[in-house]
Amino acid sequence: MIPRLLAFVPAALFVAGTAAAEVHESEQADFRLVELADGLDSPWGLAVLPGGGVLITEQGGDLRLYRDGEVSDPISGIPDAEERGQGGLLDVVLDPDYAETGWIYLSLAGRGEGGLGTQVWRGRLQDGGWTDSELLFDMQRKTSAGHHFGSRFAFDDDGRLYFSIGDRGVIERSQDPTDEAGRIHRIERDGTVPSDNPFLDEAGTPPTAYTRGNRNPQGMATHPDTGLIWIHEHGPRGGDEVNVIRAGSNYGWPEVTHGIDYSGAIISERQSAPGFVDPVHVWVPSIAPSGMAFYSGAAFPEWQGDLLIGALRSQMLVRLELDGEQVIGEERLLEREVGRIRDVRVGPDGFVYLLTDSSNGRLLRLEPTS
């Protein structure tokens, strides 16, 4: 039986949220900023359910459901995630055929031999808890490092699941052909490896690998027209990037970069070189991007096809205007007004949903003014 996800949580599990609205002006479409909930503990990822409701991950390891102005107590049975540095319970996404399958996918920092590594799980929500839990991917080379887990999700038009893993703080891992770190990976929805993954003929290369040379992608989205996967990734000190993902490509980290080390040391003298894919867009200084969504709803027709990106360091929502794969405009919204924006999603209602990253994190929604 496929679970009915909006009916499984008893009313007693919910605590009241808050609501407020502010009007903001932008270059193309004014909007109201509505606070749906506060009191979230370092929220990281969100998924908007069809028909209403929002699933929210908290970095400490809890999954909650927002619905009708209230936030549930933690959902039981979620796989164990270890909060360390940037690790914990991270992204959440619904299966493309969610109405039929009920599958929900989670990424997290999981413990195993050697320390922590990025894991991918799927399960369903039924009868008040997480059920049918399956571990689809478990990073093999785990370490004690608490950063650069990557962990964002996207599906392509064939329903295959893409997820990111950062370099785990060791820059050489991104170019090591035998390593799972510093890459975008692709699997089938049941965890098996697609027969046309690009590195299957290379001995010792992880079969799930789809790209190389990625530093720490914390934003991923599928272009609504081309079906290509786009990502953004943290640079070091400067050099945050937006990239278009193509099979077998190498995005250059750390051989090419627009950034320098946090100490001020030079990482590479090159910003571009043969054999490496140049980014579509670069930020210097860094904005620390997190979360990303293409706008394809009806609520803001002026933003159709634009790329929306949250920023942590710069505490804002970035709107990029595109012409094909070229960025032709950038607008910065909500700058220093709501705090660090951790995730950005567009719901089935066409509204834009945001998570703010703090110990008193908030779920916010952008709605049109008319």
> Does residue 72 form part of some domain?
yes
Burial of 90 (0-12, 13-18, 19+ CB in 10 A): buried
pLDDT of residue 51: 84
> Does residue 234 form part of some domain?
yes
> Does residue 219 form part of some domain?
yes
pLDDT of residue 21: 76
Q: Residue 112's domain spans which residues? A: 11-368
Which residue out of 24, 148, 232, 258 is catalytically annotated? 148
Helices and strands, number each (H, E), in the chain? 1, 25
> Does residue 99 form part of some domain?
yes
Burial of 220 (0-12, 13-18, 19+ CB in 10 A): buried
Query: How confident is the chain (370 residues) per 10-residue block, as mean pLDDT?
Result: 34 40 88 97 97 95 96 97 97 98 98 97 94 98 97 98 98 98 98 98 97 98 97 97 98 98 96 98 98 97 97 97 98 97 97 97 95
Quick one: the chain helix, strand, coil %, rounded to 5?
A: 5, 45, 55
> What does the block give as tokens for 242?
């937006």
Check if the beta carbon of residue 148 is closer than 8 Å to that of residue 86. Answer: yes
CA angle 200, 201, 206 (to 5 degrees): 40
What one-letter code names the amino acid at 244?
Answer: V
> Does residue 295 form part of some domain?
yes
> Does residue 78 form part of some domain?
yes
Q: Is the peptide bond before 285 cis (omega within 30 degrees of 0)?
A: yes
Active site residue 148: yes
The domain that holds 170 is classified in CATH as: 2.120.10.30
HSE on the CB side for 117, CA within 13 Å?
Answer: 18
Domain count of the chain? 1
User: 3-state class of 129 per DSSP?
Assistant: strand
> Does residue 199 form part of some domain?
yes
Is this model's pTM higher than 0.85 or not? yes
pLDDT of residue 18: 42
> Does residue 4 form part of some domain?
no
- Any residues with CB less than 8 A from the CB of 132 and at least 6 apart, and which? 122, 123, 124
